[in-house]
Amino acid sequence: MQFPTPPRLLRSLFEPKTSGTPSAERAEVSPTAAPACPVRPVTPAPDGKRHVVERVVEVSGWSVFLLLIFVVLSVKVVTLRALSDGMIFGTYSIVVTTYILSRFLLAYLHVPPVGDCNYEPSVSFVIPCYNEESNIQRTILNLLAVAYPRDKMDLCVVNDGSEDGSLREIRQGAFIAKAGGMRTTVVDLKENRGKREAMAEGITRTNGDIVVLVDSDSFLERDSVRRMVEHFQDPEIAAAAGHAKVFNSDTNLLTKMQHVRYYIAFNVYKAAEALFGSVTCCSGCCSAYRRSSLEEVLERWRGQRFLGVQCTYGDDRSLTNNLLRLGYRTAYVPDALSSTVVPDTWRVFLKQQLRWKKSWVRESLIAATFMYKRHPIMATSFYAGLILPLVSPAVVLRSLVWIPFFLHRFPMAYMFGLGVMAMIYGFYYFIHTKDRNWLFGIVFAALSTVFLIWQLPVAILTLKDGSWGTR
Amino acid sequence: MTHDLSAAHAARRREVTRRTAVLTLVNGGLAAGLFAFYTRQSMITRLSLGEITRVLLPTAQLKVAPAAPADGTALAVPVIVYHGVVPRGEHGNVTPETFRTHMVALKKAGYTTLTMDDFRDFMLGKKQVPARSVLLTFDDGRTDTFMGADPVLKKLGLHATMFTILGDARSGKSFYLTLDETKMMARTGRWDVHSHTTDTHVNIRTDAMGKAYGHALAVRRWDEETGRLESDDEWLSRVATDLVEAKRGVAELSGKEVYAFAYPWGDYGQTSEDPLIRTKLRQIGGRIYPLTFAQQKETLDETHNYPSDFGHIMRRIYVHYDMTADDLIARLERGDVKPLPFRDVASFASAGWSLTAGQLVESGSGRDLVDKPGDTNAQAEAFLDGSRRWRDYAVRSRFSLQPDEGVGIVARRVGPSDYLVAIVQQRYACIEQWVGNERISITEGLIDMTAAGRRPHNVSFAVQGQTASLEVDGTQILNANVDAQLSHGGIAFRVEPPRGQRARLHLDDLSVTSLEKPAAESNSNETTPGTVTSR
């Protein structure tokens, strides 16, 4: 596979966005002698004691991964020849392969910038909470462990009119947080006004330079804040998304599958977008925003209407979109880890997926009006990523209904392609985590391609229906 | 502490460089691999998964016990024609499974597949080929044909000939093998590549309205500009240009001389009502290509090609998709050259009996030759495939005659329109000679066999050199001089029903003995010397 763009464009990706040399920039940030930053290796240094077996597994994993890609490409070469016979589906097949494989390639090229530990702006955490009594306290207490100067942090928990014991849990958590030296505010909205309102309320009540929006069921790891904050040294960056893991990944098959899915969604898809500073969704689980940028878009975001209806769901994607529209860059921080609780029943899961798809449709259409201004590769893949899922139901229908039941043939090519692509996802996850759950990832990839895609037409048809619909 | 930070920046830059380098290497490797894959074995890249599972995997597991080679050499060779090898069989397109079972059956039955050179040399009488030889051909140069057939040929060590449509190969349509792929096919050594026209394997318009269409070679084209059908010269020019271009173009692909040609749809003008096309098309074809091939969907004609046929159009057995391996072998064996003396163990018992009209139905002993149901007053005729090389012989038969029923014993039959026939009725007998579908002579006489009633009669028809003689119940009835054009040929029986009744012929006995000098026939020691003519 070759880049379709000249190398000049590629090179520009790695050039620092700030003016001047790194040292000059650093001097500006910390004029006085500051404590030395520990130099973090970009990749963990090879540890001499690493187990041989692990090494072998890794090498063979990569070999299989590349072999699978080779197989897919070989099949595509065949498809290229057959293009004249089936223009539409042949093109689809080639574009979708190119799209998916390019995600891996671009993600690999994404190397997070070097951060300066002396850059320490004030940080505000905002946690909107609605009926989350089982997790909210844990979420709050988790923040106490965050490695960042305590005096530069503050926390605002907004109770969005919860009907369960959330408020009690919040108060209890806040009490402990205050005792731990964290400046904490609890806002009780009395009535349910929606997540956006709750978030907006929290944002206006705080004043940190950086606002970290945390879901009421997400738990930040110790270094996450610092990792995210580092990115804001680049003045063009308005938002940075952390990496969310699945907290309850051991519960059942469904959460295991989502675990792999989250890994791929963040480390492949978001990382690929981050290469161009255009992460399209800084997920609600844990993302940091620059207050100055946030304030530019806050009102617009808060009152967003689409098709004449007040937008309730899709707050995170919408917020990111608003920032991207103004030309800001958004980052993905792979080592800013957090865990989030995912649905463990199919009913809730499907509901959540539908909601995500709705916001994806809405926000992608909005983003389509300005994405062309971005890096050509980013723009191309954005529009491809917008069109492909829309076409996909037709392809599924043709391959799984038309070919077997009307032409009485086994949809060999489709099944093969699906299988290999799912395996590529699975192997990518396995190589990086050595986790045996990679098999569930394969199942999920196939499942979502064949079944979940059908939510998309439903999502389009029910776009106006703005019910809150999570848990 | 500038040091730490710049070290970190340096580390990041190194990492970026490293990743870029890794990706460049990996992508370069992938691209090189794909390029090698595509150029070296461009055929393989066109394999679909269906072909892998339906063709390659089963073929890899094929195990065939090599059959003992047949003794002796062939006197005649059958030619088989396949078209596509497709997942769902239809018309002349067989499934990979069918094709595989056919080839395995051929192999098990001890057949040798000839190269086109062998076949040509055999037809020219320059070369002897094994007794069970067959020429395997495929029409159209389709991709599915090659993909489906080649692995089987390779596995079983068989040879085939592809009749390629040059224009379609040039078109780059994935349905057909491209020029490069055709070259590669020729290079495998398993395939001969010959001509199946350039652009005339299509139907073209033959009237002003655009409603009538016909096979491009065998019709006159409607010329839009002049508003008329093309003239003799225009037709000749168009057809000859196409055939010459194919000969030249295919030779570029195969790297060998192209001397064989298959008429599209097996249409060499035989059914055309246009005298020009009916006579000239086969002449042009034969002038440009020494070996030309038709295809027979019906079984009316013989199956095998004899060296004496050189210069005519070769017969090919058209394989219909539902033909089983047994059907195929039976079809090939039908035309096996029959030695003299020939004796049928029961009525029409030999596998060589082939119908030109009517049908053969099982009866008490052997089979009866009857007309097709629904055809009243229609005659039925069966010829003995594989008897065409016979020269001087006596056909001795015994059968009953109904009043007004006529039974014809055909001898020196070289085709459906060239033969000698002795027709016997209870009160009448004649010997007719037919050449080119025209009766050139008739010798007739009156007889009376009514006295015998329903008792069977011994009827003997002997041909020797230039004479033919008919004998009924030991009495010679007719004698005729045989035209020089009917110097040899096989036998057939026909029955003409009495008015308003059904035709039915049961042979109580049939034997054919040679009348040639014992020295001339190698296996004449089985012939009883005393049974020769009763002149």
A38 and chain B in contact, CB less than 8 A = yes
Nearest-neighbour CA in chain A from B200: distance (Å):
22
A273 with A316, same domain: the answer is yes
B304 with B172, same domain: the answer is yes
Over range B109-116, report the average pLDDT: 92
Nearest-neighbour CA in chain B from A428: distance (Å):
15
Q: What is the CATH number of the domain that holds B357?
A: 2.60.120.560
Last residue of a domain, one of B282, B314, B334: B334
Residue B251 lies in a domain: yes
A361 with A384, same domain: the answer is no
Residue type, B260: A
Residue A372: the pLDDT is 92
B84 with B233, same domain: the answer is yes
| Residue A43 · residue A133 · CB < 8 Å | no
B346 with B329, same domain: the answer is no
Is residue B526 scored above 60 in pLDDT? no
* pTM of the predicted model as reported, rounded to 2 decimal places: 0.57
Residue B49: the pLDDT is 63
B323 with B205, same domain: the answer is yes
Are A77 and B34 a contacting pair at CB < 8 A?
A: yes
Over range B59-72, report the average pLDDT: 77
B306 with B347, same domain: the answer is no
B173 to chain A: which residues are within 8 Å by CB? 84
Structural domain total, chain B: 2
A108 to chain B: which residues are within 8 Å by CB? 19, 22-23
Are B175 and A37 a contacting pair at CB < 8 A?
A: no
Measured between CA atoms, the residue of chain B closest to residue A80 is B46
Nearest-neighbour CA in chain A from B8: distance (Å):
6
B414 with B316, same domain: the answer is no
Measured between CA atoms, the residue of chain B closest to residue A73 is B34
Write out chain A's pLDDT in tens, 471 residues. 333 343 444 444 444 444 434 444 444 444 444 455 665 655 555 555 567 777 788 888 888 888 888 888 877 776 665 555 567 777 888 888 889 989 999 998 998 888 777 888 999 999 999 988 888 888 888 888 888 888 899 999 999 888 888 898 899 888 888 888 889 999 998 888 888 889 999 999 999 999 999 998 899 888 889 889 989 998 899 999 999 999 888 888 899 999 999 999 999 999 999 999 999 999 888 899 999 999 999 888 888 888 777 777 788 899 999 999 999 999 999 989 999 999 999 999 999 899 899 889 999 999 999 999 999 999 999 999 999 988 888 888 888 888 888 877 777 778 888 888 888 888 889 888 888 888 888 888 888 888 888 888 888 888 877 554 443
Nearest-neighbour CA in chain A from B51: distance (Å):
10
The CA-based angle A374-A375-A378, given to 5 degrees, is: 90
Residue A46: the pLDDT is 55
Is residue B439 scored above 60 in pLDDT? yes
Residue B9 lies in a domain: no
**More confident site: A36 or B68:** B68
Domain hosting residue A89, numbered range: 52-110+375-461
Residue A290: the pLDDT is 93
Residue B509 lies in a domain: yes
Q: Say if the ipTM goes beyond 0.85.
A: no
Q: How confident is the model at residue B503 (pLDDT cuts 50, 70, 90)?
A: confident
Residue B223: the pLDDT is 85
Closest by Cβ to B19, choosing from A23, A40, A111: A111
Number of C-beta neighbours around residue A299 at 10 A: 10
DSSP state of B217: G
Residue B403 lies in a domain: yes
Residue A130 lies in a domain: yes
A397-404, long-range: CB within 8 Å, 24+ apart, which pairs?
A398/A89, A400/A450
Nearest-neighbour CA in chain A from B53: distance (Å):
10
3-state secondary structure chain A: CCCCCCHHHHHHHHCCCCCCCHHHHHHHHCCCCCCCCCCCCCCCCCCCCCCHHHHHHHHHHHHHHHHHHHHHHHHHHHHHHHCCCCHHHHHHHHHHHHHHHHHHHHHHHCCCCCCCCCCCCCEEEEEEECCCCCCHHHHHHHHHCCCCCHHHEEEEEEECCCCCCHHHHHHHHHHHHHHCCCEEEEEECCCCCCHHHHHHHHHHHCCCCEEEEECCCEEECCCHHHHHHHHHHCCCEEEEEEEEEECCCCCCHHHHHHHHHHHHHHHHHHHHHHCCCECCCCCCCEEEEEHHHHHHHHHHHHCCEECCEECCCCHHHHHHHHHHHCCCEEEEEEEEEEEECCCCCHHHHHHHHHHHHHHHHHHHHHHCCCHHHCCHHHHHHHHHHHHHHHHHHHHHHHHHHHHHHHCCCCCHHHHHHHHHHHHHHHHHHHHHHCCCCHHHHHHHHHHHHHCHHHHHHHHHHCCCCCCCCCC
**Which of B66-70, B79-83, B336-340, B353-357 has the weakest average pLDDT?**
B66-70
B401 with B502, same domain: the answer is yes
Measured between CA atoms, the residue of chain A closest to residue B33 is A70
A56 and chain B in contact, CB less than 8 A = no
A421 with A305, same domain: the answer is no
Closest by Cβ to A114, choosing from B2, B5, B87: B5
Are B11 and A23 a contacting pair at CB < 8 A?
A: no
Residue B301 lies in a domain: yes
A196 with A145, same domain: the answer is yes
Measured between CA atoms, the residue of chain B closest to residue A86 is B174
A327 with A224, same domain: the answer is yes
Residue B139: the pLDDT is 94
Nearest-neighbour CA in chain A from B307: distance (Å):
44
B247 with B348, same domain: the answer is no
Are B34 and A74 a contacting pair at CB < 8 A?
A: yes
Residue A238: the pLDDT is 92
B295 with B352, same domain: the answer is no
- Note the pLDDT tens digit of each residue in B198-215: 999 999 888 888 788 889
User: How far is it, in rounded angstroms, from Cα A86 to Cα A91?
Assistant: 8
User: How far is it, in rounded angstroms, from Cα B388 to Cα B284?
Assistant: 27
Q: What is the CATH number of the domain that holds B134?
A: 3.20.20.370
Residue B531: the pLDDT is 35
B285 with B374, same domain: the answer is no
Last residue of a domain, one of B281, B301, B334: B334
A314 with A381, same domain: the answer is no
Residue A12 lies in a domain: no
A141 with A213, same domain: the answer is yes
A299 with A446, same domain: the answer is no
For B359, the enclosing helix (H) or strand (E) is strand B359-362
Residue A5: the pLDDT is 40
Nearest-neighbour CA in chain B from A262: distance (Å):
24
Is residue B297 scored above 80 in pLDDT? no
What proportion of chain A, given as a percentage, has pLDDT over 90? 29
Contacts with B, A 394-433, CB within 8 Å: 408-410, 412-413, 416
Residue A467: the pLDDT is 54
Over range B291-306, report the average pLDDT: 82
Closest by Cβ to A84, choosing from B2, B6, B174: B174
Nearest-neighbour CA in chain B from A234: distance (Å):
14
User: How far is it, in rounded angstroms, from Cα B109 to Cα B131?
Assistant: 12
A355 with A396, same domain: the answer is no
Residue B162: the pLDDT is 96
Are B11 and A108 a contacting pair at CB < 8 A?
A: no
Last residue of a domain, one of B301, B334, B367: B334
Residue A383: the pLDDT is 93
Structural domain total, chain A: 2
Residue B21 lies in a domain: no
User: How far is it, in rounded angstroms, from Cα B202 to Cα B218?
Assistant: 11
DSSP state of B94: B
Contacts with B, A 101-140, CB within 8 Å: 105, 108-109, 111, 113-114, 116
Closest by Cβ to A26, choosing from B2, B22, B27: B2
Closest by Cβ to A73, choosing from B30, B53, B88: B30
Domain hosting residue B286, numbered range: 45-334
B330 with B379, same domain: the answer is no
Is residue B6 scored above 90 in pLDDT? no
B306 with B398, same domain: the answer is no
A141 with A98, same domain: the answer is no
Residue B319: the pLDDT is 92
Residue B289: the pLDDT is 93
A67 and chain B in contact, CB less than 8 A = no
Residue A116 lies in a domain: no
A341 with A445, same domain: the answer is no
Closest by Cβ to A22, choosing from B6, B20, B34: B6
Residue A305: the pLDDT is 81
A336 with A445, same domain: the answer is no
Q: Which residue has the tokens 């005519």?
A: B312
Residue B98: the pLDDT is 93
Residue B15 lies in a domain: no
Residue B319 lies in a domain: yes
